[in-house]
Amino acid sequence: MLVTIGANGPNSSDLGFLLHKHPDRVRSVDVGHGRAHVFYPEVSEERTTATLLVEVDPVRLSRRARGDRSTATLEPYVNDRPYAASSMLSAAIGKLYGTAMSGTCENKPELVDQAMDLEIVAPVVGAPHGGELIDRLFEPLGWTVERKILPLDSSFEIWGDSRYASLTLRGSLTVKDALSHLYVLLPVLDGKKHYWIGDDEVEKLLRRGGEWLAAHPEREVISRRYLRFGSLARQALARLSEGHVDSDERDQSDNASEHALERTLSLNDQRLDAVINAVTVAGGGAVVDLGCGEGRLLERLVAEPTVTNVLGVDVSLRALDRAEGRLRLDDMSERRREQITLAQSALTYTDERLRGRDVATVIEVIEHLDAERLDVFAQVVFGDAAPRTVIVTTPNIEYNVHFERLLAGTFRHGDHRFEWTRAEFTEWTEQICVDYGYATTFAPIGPDHPETGPPTQMAVFSKVAS
């Protein structure tokens, strides 16, 4: 099986920088079910083509499959896996083009968000519903679709059409978007994955689908065919409908980019220090960390003497698993373990477990929520949970001019829905105070520049006695 990505027009050779593959070399890797190769059939300033070829070992694949050893048929050895685009091609895209798909290009970062005149060719893809589903999947994403149903056997026309098509996509898109479309939609067209589908596939779909999946008119079809199990599909659709974004859904490469920007300032450490100090000043007690992610703040909270009880909340089960590993809960004494709770919950739903807390921390979370959902978030946290102290941190967009590697007009993290100026953050906090009876103090985190202010802004909300 293979897929070819071509770029047309001036500077088309930039495709090599974006894909992180040198045009003069063949790149080959093991992909579990065989070998995958990337090579360039043509390279010029007017036309550059990169081909990803996957050689499937059917014997190797059959031995990895569950239940195939007991079958009485030859299906595990004689099937369409070697030539029809499927989840195996998607896995190869993730392994060989993962950096490009995440939107990272160290040599020419300005190229990442530039649309290119692209042409993608997949000689054999699944064609459900006579190929009509192909149009429904790709056209809303900006592609011009050219497909041709392949005959079952060209030597015997009477046999009719097969359930496969040749596919050509043309459009002006960024390479990272094009790759994410292929990564998600090729398995959707195939309808059969070569590996076990579990909860982590929901995270993968939401992470790779990004904003385009939430807005796609066929998102229900995509979710159900990608995940196969109704319960997983319903979970994905619910989170897409509510716009839930958690720390695990933020692409790991985006996190790495954001950390790389802030590393020279040791900003993450300064942020954690500032939050712990604010918790201590507030008197500690029972603390809930909303959007706790993999537990970096939780690790500091459980070691703070003034904190008597800690609840870590995140919508992602995988993030909570990482937090559990970081905290080494299994190694704790029973008494210490009883003081720490991890819970799955969304920040746009009321949850009685959040009530009665002394302090709530919301660290680098609100900017990952859709702006129109902030009113619901405020009602959940300040209205229903109503802790006596709420600590919120968020980036200060004014400071972004000091990050040399950050392109003008872009956010620090690929999943940020917004980044506020100091005035915008102040306006939001003032409205919270009016609506829910809090008072606010502000504190800078990181170097406080006289013109742009600090890289991170922190607000500490204190409940006003009625």
Give the range among 52-61, 120-129, 320-329 with minimum mean pLDDT. Answer: 52-61
Q: Average model confidence (pLDDT) for the chain? A: 84
Q: What is the pLDDT of residues 1-24, one digit of tens each?
A: 789 999 998 888 889 888 888 888
Q: Which CATH class is domain 253-463?
A: alpha beta
Angle at 424 between CA 421 and CA 426, to 5 degrees: 110
* pLDDT attached to residue 79: 64
| pLDDT classification of 62: cutoffs 50, 70, 90 | low
* pLDDT attached to residue 110: 85
Look at residue 419 and tell me whether its pLDDT is greater than 50.
yes
Q: Residue 130 carries which DSSP code?
A: G
User: How far apart are the C-alpha atoms of 259 and 270, rounded to whole Å?
Assistant: 13
Look at residue 250 and tell me whether its pLDDT is greater than 50.
no
* pLDDT attached to residue 263: 47
* pLDDT attached to residue 260: 46
pLDDT cut 90: percent of the chain above it? 43
Place of tokens 């050893």: 69
Q: What mean pLDDT is predicted for residues 14-39?
A: 86
Q: What mean pLDDT is predicted for residues 21-39?
A: 85
Please give the residue that has the higher pLDDT: either 217 or 232.
217
Q: What is the pLDDT of residues 99-139, one digit of tens each?
A: 888 888 877 888 888 899 999 999 999 888 788 899 999 99
Look at residue 315 and tell me whether its pLDDT is greater than 90.
no
- Fold for 2-195, please state it: c-terminal autoproteolytic domain of nucleoporin nup98 (3.30.1610)
* pLDDT attached to residue 61: 61
* pLDDT attached to residue 458: 97
Inter-CA distances, 343 with 178, 329, 358, 438, Å: 36, 14, 17, 26
Look at residue 230 and tell me whether its pLDDT is greater than 80.
no
Please give the residue that has the higher pLDDT: either 332 or 54.
54
* pLDDT attached to residue 443: 94
Strand partners, 462: 389, 439
Q: Residue 302 carries which DSSP code?
A: T
* pLDDT attached to residue 60: 63
Look at residue 262 and tell me whether its pLDDT is greater than 80.
no
| pLDDT classification of 81: cutoffs 50, 70, 90 | low
Nearest one of 102, 408, 363 to 250, comparing CA atoms:
102
Give the range among 205-209, 269-273, 458-462 with minimum mean pLDDT. Answer: 205-209
pTM for this predicted structure: 0.52
* pLDDT attached to residue 118: 95
Give the range among 125-134, 390-399, 435-444 with minimum mean pLDDT. Answer: 125-134
Domain positions in the chain: 2-195, 253-463
Q: What is the pLDDT of residues 167-176, one digit of tens each?
A: 999 999 999 9
* pLDDT attached to residue 177: 92
- Beta-carbon contacts of 427 under 8 Å, excluding residues fewer than 6 positions away, are none
Give the range among 336-340, 386-390, 446-450 with minimum mean pLDDT. Answer: 336-340
DSSP run (H or E) holding 92: helix 87-96
Q: What mean pLDDT is predicted for residues 376-392?
A: 96
* pLDDT attached to residue 256: 46
User: How far apart are the C-alpha atoms of 275 and 3, rounded to whole Å?
Assistant: 48
* pLDDT attached to residue 168: 95
Amino acid making up residue 277:
N
Structure tokens at 68: 């195939």
HEC string for the chain: CEEEEEEECCCHHHHHHHHCCCCCCCEEEECCCEEEEEEEEECCCCEEEEEEEEEECHHHHHHHCCCHHHCCCCCCCCCCCCCCCCHHHHHHHHHHCHHHHCCCCCCCHHHCCCCEEEEEEEEEEECHHHHHHHHHHHHHHCCEEEEEEEECCCCCHHHCEEEEEEEEEEEEECHHHHHHHHHHHHHHHHCCCCCCCCHHHHHHHHHHHHHHHHHCCCHHHHHHHHHCCHHHHHHHHHHHHHCCCCCCCCCHHHHHHHHHHHHCCCHHHHHHHHHHHHHHHCCCEEEEEECCCCCHHHHHHCCCCCEEEEEEEECCHHHHHHHHHHHCHHHCCHHHHCCEEEEECCCCCCCHHHCCCCEEEEECCHHHCCHHHHHHHHHHHHHHHCCCEEEEEEEEHHHHHHCCCCCCCCCCCCCCCCCECHHHHHHHHHHHHHHHCEEEEEEEECCCECCCECCEEEEEEEECCC
Check: CB of residue 62 under 8 Å from CB of residue 107. Answer: no
**Range with top average pLDDT, 64-78, 246-260, 418-432:** 418-432
Please give the residue that has the higher pLDDT: either 53 or 104.
53
Nearest one of 455, 457, 458 to 401, comparing CA atoms:
455
Burial of residue 238, with CB atoms counted within 10 A of its CB: 0-12 exposed, 13-18 middle, 19 or more buried: exposed
Please give the residue that has the higher pLDDT: either 164 or 84.
164
